[in-house]
Each structure stands twice: as C-alpha cells, then as structure tokens.
Amino acid sequence: MESHLGRVLGDEALPLAERAKVFLDTTTDLVKEVFEDRLPVIKNGHFARIRNVVEQSIRFFTKEKALAAMAPFISHDYKSYTHSVHVFVYSVAVLHSFGVEGEDLLQAGMGAMLHDLGKTRVPKDILAKRGALSRAEQEIMKNHPLWGVSQCASLPMSQLALNCVLFHHERMDGEGYPSRLAGEHIPFPVRVLAVCDAYDNLTAERPGQAALSPFDALQSMRSEKGAYDVEAFKRLVQVLSGAALI
C-alpha cells in the first residue's frame, strides 16, 4: 500500500470518488493509530471535538485539487505523509486545548497536514540520507517551506494555513528559516505546529537514527534553548499526558 498509494491517488483514470475513498480510509487509519497509541485514552467532550475537526479536515483532502496536491507528496516519500498526519492530529489537539475552534482550527489543521508539502521537490536521496546533510543539501532542504506555499496556491487555504507551511521552521530565537522571524512575530498556531513537528520527528525512526521514547524526545526538546515557544511546549506535554484533556 505504501508504494502504491500515491500512484493510485494521482491516477486520473480512476473516478475521483474512488481515489477520495482510498485517501480517506488510509488517513483515517493513521489518525486512529495516533489516537490509540500516542494520545491518552480519555473519552470526553474535548476528545470528541478534536476527532470531529480531524474528520472534517480529512474530508477537505478528498476534494479534487487537494487530492492532486497530496498524491505526488505521498508517492515521493510515504514517511513524510505519515509524519504529516501525526503532526496534524497533535496540532489540532494542542490548539483546541488553547481554545482555538471552528474555521481557525480547521485551517491550522490543514496547514499542519500540508506543512512539508514542499518536500515533494527535495530529491529522495536527500530525504533518505543517513547522517548529516552537506551544506549544499541543507540549502536545498531549506527551500521546502517556500516550495510548499507555492504548491498550495490553488487550494482554498487561509493566510493562517499558508503561514503554517511557510514558517514552521522558524525558531523563537530568530535562528530559524526562511524568514528568521522571532518570538511573537511567529503566529501562535505556527509555534504550536513547530513543537508538534519536532516531537514527531524525534519519536519517529529517521534514516540512521532510532526513535526516541516520548520522555526522551521531550527532554531533548526542553534542553534546546531558544527553539520553541515555552507555553506551546508545556501544553504539548499536558496533552500527551492527558492533563489538558480533562
């Protein structure tokens, strides 16, 4: 399925409804996995509302243009797609715990799902490289937020959603890219996304590097001074522990 999914979604000979169903089923399974294995099992209103937003957002991606944007992304690098689904669920959960609702939450969710879309243009050997990237490879990699935004141009996304794609590698201390925005200049939903993105990267297996446990991943993030919004980080810890869901 991993190697065929992108090809199936991009095959215009297949009816849109069929392709949309394949996308819906696969993504719903991945989302279920996050809820069951990575987030605390608490059945309450908060949880049900997150699930609702997640389902609505996934439906957005079953529309023709969104599906056309996702297909090459999925076939280029399946791991980037599963990562995006994880980051999407974490971001929606954390933002919702901060009181973000409705259209804003939906748009932030879409931004989270599409944040790495620009990696479609990063060569596969760079994405899969074991160990550190060379300077030239890093420069190519650093283009992916900008490439991502241009790939989103035909989608009905708000400025907030586009900001998620463009600024998810900015750091609180202004040492990120592409714009070296710092602190409050980085929109809050993007700061939440950045925290969720880092957490999922650290807890996933990467080329040449084993996955960290949730505890070790959070410790590593805490020791990285100046990178993350402290409130967003604390809230992610609470959401992962179930404290923010009660």
Segment near Fe ion (CB under 5 A); pick from 31-39, 93-101, 115-123, 202-210? 115-123
CB of 211 to Fe ion, least distance (A): 18
Q: Exposed, middle or buried, 1 (CB in 10 Å: 0-12/13-18/19+)?
A: exposed
- Contacts of 168-177 with C-beta under 8 Å, sequence gap 24+, read 168/115, 168/193, 168/194, 168/197, 169/142, 169/145, 169/194, 170/194, 171/226, 171/227, 171/228, 172/226, 172/227, 172/228, 172/229, 173/225, 173/226, 173/227, 175/226, 177/142, 177/145
Angstrom distance (rounded) from CA 147 to CA 142: 10
Query: Is the Cβ of residue 9 or residue 77 nearer to Fe ion in the bound state?
Result: 77
Query: Is the Cβ of residue 203 or residue 238 nearer to Fe ion in the bound state?
Result: 203
CA atoms within 13 A on the CB side of 185: 12
Binding mask 40-69 for Fe ion (x = CB under 5 A): ------------------------------
62, 67, 116, 161: residue in contact with Fe ion (rule CB under 5 A): 116
Using an 8 Å Cβ cutoff, are 237 and 218 in contact? yes
Point out the residue whose Cβ comes nearest to Fe ion: 116
Query: Is the Cβ of residue 116 or residue 229 nearer to Fe ion in the bound state?
Result: 116
Query: Is the Cβ of residue 8 or residue 146 nearer to Fe ion in the bound state?
Result: 146
Query: Is the Cβ of residue 51 or residue 121 nearer to Fe ion in the bound state?
Result: 121
CB of 6 to Fe ion, least distance (A): 19
CB of 144 to Fe ion, least distance (A): 6
Query: Total binding residues for Fe ion by CB under 5 A?
Result: 1
CB of 148 to Fe ion, least distance (A): 8
CB of 10 to Fe ion, least distance (A): 22
CA-angle at 173, arms to 186 and 187, nearest 5°? 5
Kindly state whether residue 77 participates in binding Fe ion, applying the rule CB under 5 A: no
What is the C-alpha end-to-end distance of the chain, expressed in Å? 37
Per-residue burial over 236-245, b if 16 or more Cβ lie within 10 Å, else e, is bbebbeeebb
Segment near Fe ion (CB under 5 A); pick from 57-65, 114-122, 170-178, 209-217? 114-122
Query: Is the Cβ of residue 6 or residue 176 nearer to Fe ion in the bound state?
Result: 176
Q: What is the contact surface with Fe ion in residues (CB under 5 A)?
A: 116
